[in-house]
Structure 1
Amino acid sequence: MFAKGQTVIQYMEQLAPKHVAMEGDKIGLQLGTLQKEIRSVLIALDVNEEVVDEAISLGVDLIIAHHAIIFRPLTGLQTDTPMGKVYEKLIKNDIAVYISHTNLDVTEGGMNDWMAEALGIEDATPLEDIHTDKLYKLVVFVPKDHHQNVLDAILNAGAGWIGNYSHCSFNLEGYGTFMPREGTAPYLGQQGKLERAEEVRIETIITDSVRTKVIQAMLKKHPYEEVAYDLYPMDLKGRTLGLGRVGRVAEPVTLEQFVERVKEKLNVPAVRVTGNLNRQIKKAAVVGGSGGRYWKHAQFRGADVLVTGDIDYHTAQDALMAGITLIDPGHNAEKIMKPKVADWLKDKLAEHKYETKVHASAVDTEPFMFR
């Protein structure tokens, strides 16, 4: 059985939820439809004509890419232009394109964590906070004989996290009263008669990101026709997600040694670097893509070096004078996401017994040559 397009994207959004993307980012379905079976998925950094040809040869129905194919509003669609030809091929071959960009950068276990891990950066935390989950107290009243089923459903859907503790809840036994009126089909009691039922009050914490999932799971398992529950917004902060990562280098090395590590682990033939090659690197920061503007964030957090792409001349001069080293492996270093996303999605589909195949694109979309 092949997964439907919407199912594939539901799994993808478990890894990189849309709501954590930076404001204005062009993410989501950009071309085609998800209302179809997906026999094969291609994970790509960019979508150019070579990538589309690769997708066609593999029988792909859906491309999940990091960089948008429609970044600015289209005023026309001419198929005799380079990008117009790409759109035409995608449409004629019924290949949908879905974009996961800054949401994949920001999420835990996403782009910036993969890059930090590859470079040996430990205990990494975000360079800049982007999204903080809102917290809610969920209170629901459940008949005693259904208490455990409803509690398990709520907690397994993601409720009950406090720090690194999961399945946190408070449960208090008591009595609930209600009178079923005309037109009702009560689980307990009779129409027109006051009912007094043994119930359990369940209290737990949920985040905004799992709120819908938890409520749906609760309603599905709850036996009552009309479920009594409350959601209270809390002033406490939930999990904070952010852009970039900074942390200590597992074993301090010289800048020259760290440069070689960047080239090897990010699979780039050359980098641009500033500073003294003999400098000791004890703490490092990384930002996938174009992150030159974050050098002050990295310096404030005590980093000796910032690894990021697309650094301009004046930014390099300013950072050099301020005493922080920069390493620019290019924007294409983000290709680390291709096998990572492919493996994650393969496992998720296999877990649910789907036959949908997932490929990591083999096309190198680096526009620059190194001589």
Structure 2
Amino acid sequence: MKTVNGHEIISLFESWSPTSLAVEGDPVGLEVGQLNRKISNVLVTLDTTEEVIEEAIAKNCNLIISHHPLFYRPIQSIRTDSFQGKVIEKLIKNDITLYTAHTNLDVAQGGVNDLLAEALDLESIELLEVTDEDNYRKLAVFVPSDFAQKVREALASAGAGKIDDYDSCSFSTVGEGRFQPLKGAEPFIGAVGKLETVEEVKIEVIFPRSLTSAVLNALHASHPYEVPAYDLLELLTPVTKNGIGRIGVLSEKMTLEQFSLFVKKKLSVPFVRVVGNLSTEIHKVAVLGGDGNKYIRKAKRMGADVLVTGDMYFHIAQDAERMGLSIVDPGHHIESIMKQGVSTKMNSMMKERGWNVHFIASEISTEPFRLF
């Protein structure tokens, strides 16, 4: 099994959930620590608290992937007698890196909202609201023949060359590369001041524009040259649409009362808040993890009978009721479905590549509400 560093793990993670999918201004990515270190175990959590860090220490995890950011806005100071300060101090003292995937994980295919839609057994699932249309790019890179396979594998691991139900797709041509290193260069092949001719392979792969950062990082990490030569081209290929929330249909219609109990059971929550006539027939369902107050009108326009979402405000709930849209609010914490979902997906990707890294779903509940 291969040991890998944080850069490789996050590059692979971002091939699935790139930061470019996040809504504008959302604080995603590396929050505390560094990625240039070997990673043994990764803890996946909804929130990062002192208790979660203790769990990471106990389970020998030196990387935490959290859904909710530790910092929603810039901080002016780090006081270790505050919640954020204590968390930062604990992370640094225990050499644990914190990385956040927030709305990019909501939007990503197979992310939070897809996990919720699948948990509710929805069929014919579509995007609730399109947030991004992703065109394709083509990378053409020139590599010494002996290193071509290594570069191909690295690009594939970053998500390049995936076309429908096929991955690792690429095209190669063999030719000669010529270059002359100048004073100050540190050439991998050849000598300063001497024109060099090398047998090289031109590798061509396509990938969604959103993966550009991950693909180029993989290229630079795997390519032997000090300065790789490559072309990056925009393609007029049909776009891939990404979006927030999901909408689908139930295999069998239910009343709102039956559906509310169904949601409670499927999402393993102690209660749900319900808006609407309990005898209303439910067939088409919109679902959005977290706070979905802004999406009641979109859900109604898309033909939803009910919107499943958290943090519903009083007056927004009244608006939904007046427009004939039922609401089932199981709470914000249903996003914790991502802990097992991300762990399962990433462990599968680790196994495929023979990487000696284990993703562990946090067992700590960060739900702040209690019922009496």
Q: Report the Cα offset of residue 210 of structure 1.
A: 4.6
Which has the greater radius of gyration?
A: 1
Q: Tell me if 1:185 matches 2:201.
A: no
CA contact (8 A) 2:40 2:356 kept: yes
Residue equivalent to 1:108? 109
CA contact (8 A) 2:176 2:198 kept: no
CA contact (8 A) 1:149 1:221 kept: no
Change (3 A) 1:295 1:4: same
Partner SS, residue 360 of structure 2 = strand
Unmatched 5+ residue regions in structure 2? Answer: 181-192
Residue equivalent to 1:21? 22
Alpha-carbon displacement from aligned partner over 1:217-247 (angstroms, at most 9, x marks no partner): 999999xxx9998655345541010000011
Q: Report the Cα offset of residue 319 of structure 1.
A: 0.6
Partner SS, residue 369 of structure 2 = coil
Alpha-carbon displacement from aligned partner over 1:179-200 (angstroms, at most 9, x marks no partner): 9999543457xxxxxxxxxxxx
Residue equivalent to 1:35? 36
Structure 1 window deviating more from structure 2 (153-162 vs 30-39): it is 153-162
Question: 1:264 is aligned with what amino acid?
Answer: K
Residue equivalent to 1:337? 338
Q: Report the Cα offset of residue 101 of structure 1.
A: 0.6
Residue equivalent to 2:321? 320
Structure 1 window deviating more from structure 2 (35-44 vs 330-339): it is 35-44
Q: Report the Cα offset of residue 82 of structure 1.
A: 3.0
Change (3 A) 1:53 1:300: same
Residue equivalent to 1:255? 256
Q: Report the Cα offset of residue 81 of structure 1.
A: 2.1
Question: 1:125 is aligned with what amino acid?
Answer: E
Alpha-carbon displacement from aligned partner over 1:160-209 (angstroms, at most 9, x marks no partner): 777678899999x9xx9999999543457xxxxxxxxxxxx999864323
Change (3 A) 1:234 1:2: closer
Tell me, in whole angstroms, the C-alpha distance in 2 between the residues paired with 1:178 and 1:363: 55
Tell me, in whole angstroms, the C-alpha distance in 2 between the residues paired with 1:48 and 1:116: 28
Partner SS, residue 308 of structure 2 = strand
Q: Report the Cα offset of residue 22 of structure 1.
A: 1.1
TM-score norm. by structure 1 comes to 0.81
Change (3 A) 1:24 1:185: same
Question: 1:318 is aligned with what amino acid?
Answer: D
Structure 1 window deviating more from structure 2 (54-63 vs 335-344): it is 54-63
Residue equivalent to 1:351? 352
Report the identity percentage. Answer: 43
Q: Report the Cα offset of residue 273 of structure 1.
A: 0.6
Tell me, in whole angstroms, the C-alpha distance in 1 between the residues paired with 2:11 and 2:231: 27
Q: Report the Cα offset of residue 21 of structure 1.
A: 1.2
Alpha-carbon displacement from aligned partner over 1:13-52 (angstroms, at most 9, x marks no partner): 1221111111111111101122222222111001112212
Aligned-pair Cα RMSD in Å: 3.9
Partner SS, residue 304 of structure 2 = coil
Structure 1 window deviating more from structure 2 (281-290 vs 26-35): it is 26-35
Superposed, 1:289-304 pairs within 5 Å as 289-304=290-305
Partner SS, residue 365 of structure 1 = coil
Residue equivalent to 1:198? none
Question: 1:279 is aligned with what amino acid?
Answer: T
Question: 2:234 is aligned with what amino acid?
Answer: P
Superposed, 1:38-57 pairs within 5 Å as 38-57=39-58
Unmatched 5+ residue regions in structure 1? Answer: 189-200
Residue equivalent to 1:192? none
Tell me, in whole angstroms, the C-alpha distance in 2 between the residues paired with 1:247 and 1:29: 34
Tell me, in whole angstroms, the C-alpha distance in 2 between the residues paired with 1:48 and 1:208: 34
Change (3 A) 1:321 1:17: same
Tell me, in whole angstroms, the C-alpha distance in 1 between the residues paired with 2:305 and 2:338: 25
Question: 1:60 is aligned with what amino acid?
Answer: C
Partner SS, residue 60 of structure 1 = coil
Question: 1:355 is aligned with what amino acid?
Answer: N
Q: Report the Cα offset of residue 264 of structure 1.
A: 1.3
Question: 2:127 is aligned with what amino acid?
Answer: P
Aligned residues: 357
Q: Report the Cα offset of residue 156 of structure 1.
A: 5.7
Question: 1:130 is aligned with what amino acid?
Answer: T
Question: 2:59 is aligned with what amino acid?
Answer: L
Tell me, in whole angstroms, the C-alpha distance in 1 between the residues paired with 2:67 and 2:125: 22
Question: 1:31 is aligned with what amino acid?
Answer: V
CA contact (8 A) 1:153 1:218 kept: no
TM-score norm. by structure 2 comes to 0.81
Question: 2:261 is aligned with what amino acid?
Answer: E
Residue equivalent to 1:92? 93
Tell me, in whole angstroms, the C-alpha distance in 1 between the residues paired with 2:222 and 2:47: 43
Q: Report the Cα offset of residue 61 of structure 1.
A: 0.9
Question: 1:256 is aligned with what amino acid?
Answer: E
Tell me, in whole angstroms, the C-alpha distance in 2 between the residues paired with 1:316 and 1:21: 27
Tell me, in whole angstroms, the C-alpha distance in 2 between the residues paired with 1:37 and 1:292: 41
Q: Report the Cα offset of residue 329 of structure 1.
A: 0.7
Q: Report the Cα offset of residue 5 of structure 1.
A: 1.7
Question: 2:90 is aligned with what amino acid?
Answer: K
Change (3 A) 1:183 1:135: same
Superposed, 1:1-371 pairs within 5 Å as 2-136=3-137, 184-187=195-198, 206-210=207-211, 232-371=233-372
Tell me, in whole angstroms, the C-alpha distance in 1 between the residues paired with 2:39 and 2:109: 27
CA contact (8 A) 2:244 2:288 kept: yes
